[in-house]
A and B are shown apart, each in its own frame.
Chain A
Amino acid sequence: MTTATVSRWDRFRESFFWYSFKRDKVAIASFAVLLLMVLAAIFAPLLAPTDPYDLAQINIMNSELPPVGMSGSDPAFPLGTDAQGRDLLSTILYGTRVSLMIGFGAVILQAFLGILFGLLAGYLGGKVDAILMRIADVQLSFSTLMVAIIVGAVFKASFGNLMFGEIAIYMLIFIIGVAEWPQIARTVRASVLAEKKKEYVDAAKVMGFGTRRIMFRHILPNTLSPIFVIATVQIANAIISEAALSFLGLGMPETQPSLGSLIKSGFDYIQSGSWWITLIPGLVLVVLVLVINLLGDWLRDVMNPRLYKG
């Protein structure tokens, strides 16, 4: 077992992937920032000075305190407080956690749907392909954000505010996952079409392997690198979509805020001069999305896959 891991590690260290990562300062910096934010989000309960979900720790007298460095600030709240007196640093740590959970969850769901439908469409071809890709085309032409807003609005209206607030996290994963599967399906289909013509697939067919086995055991592993590239970018898109939905009031409730709902609740106070409640979570959101996009750009250059060019 140990020898296997060691040799794998050696192989990784000698790979082109690691070589180009070491030489790209932007990629290293982006990865470091992303790792830091993910770790901070995972360990938010340990790192955060207060628990923003615990009403007993909130004092309304502390509301709208500015960040340290401005007059009237309190050193106990380094980034200031929001309108309800919650420590902004804590709400941001927890909010990043919620945003990342939804981002990753939505991409796992859309990868599942996209890979399944993309494989089916690409390998089976014919009617299956025509129907699935037509659906994908139509859904994409409506823009994923529009689809997500409409599905979110319908869910919110049918579940009611309270119920929607409780299950919002799962709802958002579902909404964004379903709204964005065509992106991955098209990429998978394009590379399946290329792989399908290769000799190893003919060989597998001649050996009498079943369609399912060829699709998942033989073709799928060879389409992983474009999936990897597009999934990275899709995480960033999912986080933005979640923030947009939350900003419209169709996402996370203020009691369990994501970065988007923090921006939304702070926006009501921007005219009274409390800019930090909305702009600090906004800055965190932009940095998070930016480093993921930069990593995605770098991955695209390194892996250079056959991406769907629409």
Chain B
Amino acid sequence: MLAFLVQRISQALLVMFVISVIAFAIQDGLGDPLQEMVGMSVSEEEREAIRDELGLNDPMVVQYLRFAGNALQGDLGNSYFYSKPTLEVIAEHLPATLELVIGASLIIVFLSVPIGVYAAIRPQAWLSKFFMGVSTVGISIPVFLTAIVLIQLFSIGVAVNWFPSDTGWGQWLNDFFTTEGGLPSYGRGDNLTHLFGTWNSGFFSEGGLMHLVLPSVSLASIMLPLFIRLIRAEMMEVLQSDYIRYARAKGLSAGRINFLHALKNTMLPVITVGGVQIGIMVAYTILTETVFQWPGVGLMFLEAITRSDIPLIVAYLMVVGLIFVITNTVVDLVYGLVNPTVKLTGKKA
């Protein structure tokens, strides 16, 4: 176990090192910090002087070591646009993204488990086939498109008059397909509750929750089909196993078998895969936040790209890289702990 632990942690450190080299290369190779700082009117000599002062003329290795040393002390430079430390800027934007991810995760957990289990227990029922069909279609819809459709339906609203309105059924169908709209589709609203530090939460006011609905449903829509399929596949495999057959022979009730004995063993791989997927959701938050102008780190990153705010781009890479590495390492370690069949050398069986 110790060997496994050491091996995983040293791999995490190696990956972090590679990320920092990439981040440094981006910082070094992209854009000219002087152009952002001083503008056109400064003479070449003055530029050269500032370059020396900033250490931009030092050898690469020296510059990297300085970069890494500062990063370890929590200093990733100042953002050009916000004119304050990049980590502070990220800390201000992170709560919005975290609330979005929490909202989406809640939707995923509360929908995927019952649907996946149901589809595994009754694979031939029309409702299961309907759910599986919807999830195939769902996988084919990019997250930003789901978001746009949701905005059209529930924020702008759709007035339907395809059916003759002079008959009762026509009017009923028109009303049925007409949506009111009115849900907010822009930002987080003003009713935020201050929790601590930089965390202003939208969870405690009606306005904040309303603003959370469309973005978190959109973000959940991309992961939900994956989880439904995963839970269904794992559950079906578990239901084939000997101990379930034995439990049936013993005469235990179906509910007890399915939800107590089978679900427990289904959730193990689901939780480990889920841990990794939650990390991957960070990539999708960029898309969701762009559509809804949600003031989280994803939107901040994209704005940093258009503003060529190199320090902020680099800081984002480092922070997101760290989040990924920590989630993956923890998930691996937990999996190694609960599943003794994983070889201790860390090679996948």
Residues of A participating in the B interface, judged by any CB pair closer than 8 Å: 134, 138, 141-143, 145-146, 149-150, 153-154, 156-158, 236, 240, 243-244, 247-250, 263, 267, 270-271, 273, 275, 278-279, 282, 285-286, 289-290, 293-294, 297
Contacts and interface: CB of A to CB of B under 8 A. Distances in A.
B20 to A, nearest CB: 14
A288 to B, nearest CB: 9
B142 A267 contact: no
Contacts of A143: 279-280, 282-283
Interface string B119-144: 00000000000000000110111111
19 contacts: A142-B324, A143-B280, A149-B286, A153-B313, A154-B26, A156-B305, A157-B30, A247-B290, A250-B305, A267-B291, A270-B148, A273-B156, A279-B148, A279-B149, A279-B152, A285-B142, A289-B140, A290-B137, A294-B136
Central interface residue in B140, B148, B152, by most chain A CB within 10 Å: B140
Contact of B305 (A157, A290, A297): A157
A73 B279 CA distance: 46
Given A143-B280, A156-B305, A282 B149 contact: yes
A223 B29 CA distance: 41
Contacts of A145: 280, 283-284
Contacts of B140: 236, 240, 286, 289-290, 293
Given A149-B286, A248-B302, A263 B308 contact: no
A158 B313 CA distance: 13
A194 B237 CA distance: 23
A156 B307 CA distance: 12
Contacts, number: 94
A13 B317 CA distance: 53
A157 B144 contact: no
Given A270-B156, A279-B148, A282-B148, A146 B290 contact: no
A269 B280 CA distance: 30
Nearest to A272: B156
B148 A267 contact: yes
Contacts of B106: none
Contacts of B276: 141
**Main SS of the interface on chain A?**
helix
B317 A150 contact: yes
Nearest to B137: A290
A218 to B, nearest CB: 27
A146 B280 contact: yes
Given A270-B156, A286-B145, A154 B287 contact: no
Contact of A248 (B139, B286, B321, B328): B286
Contact of B328 (A141, A282, A297): A141
B151 interface: yes
A157 B308 contact: yes
Contact of A153 (B142, B156, B305): B305
Given A154-B26, A285-B145, A141 B287 contact: no
Contacts of A273: 156
Interface in B179-210: none
B142 A154 contact: no
Given A157-B30, A240-B142, 6 more contacts: A240-B140, A244-B144, A275-B152, A278-B148, A286-B141, A293-B136
Interface of B: 11, 15, 18, 26, 29-31, 136-137, 139-145, 148-149, 151-152, 156, 276, 279-280, 282-284, 286-287, 290-291, 301-302, 305-306, 308, 310, 313, 317, 320-321, 324, 328
Contacts of A154: 26, 30
A146 B283 contact: yes
B137 to A, nearest CB: 6
Given A146-B280, A267-B291, A158 B141 contact: no
A271 B151 CA distance: 9
Contacts of B286: 149, 248
Nearest to A143: B280
B311 to A, nearest CB: 13
Nearest to B23: A150
Contacts of B321: 142
Nearest to A146: B283
A134 B148 CA distance: 38
Central interface residue in B141, B143, B144, B321, by most chain A CB within 10 Å: B144
B144 to A, nearest CB: 5
Contacts of A263: 144-145, 148
Contacts of A279: 148-149, 152
A281 B317 CA distance: 32
Given A154-B26, A240-B142, A271-B156, A247 B305 contact: no
A285 B149 CA distance: 13
B167 to A, nearest CB: 21
A293 B148 contact: no
A271 B317 CA distance: 33
Closest 8 CB pairs of A and B: A146-B283, A143-B280, A290-B140, A289-B140, A145-B283, A282-B145, A153-B305, A143-B283
Nearest to A236: B140
Given A154-B30, A236-B140, A286-B141, A149 B283 contact: yes
Given A150-B317, A157-B31, A158-B29, A247 B287 contact: yes
Contact of B287 (A134, A150, A244, A270): A244
B148 to A, nearest CB: 6
Nearest to B347: A130
A175 to B, nearest CB: 14
Central interface residue in B31, B286, B321, by most chain A CB within 10 Å: B286
A31 to B, nearest CB: 16
A263 B287 CA distance: 13
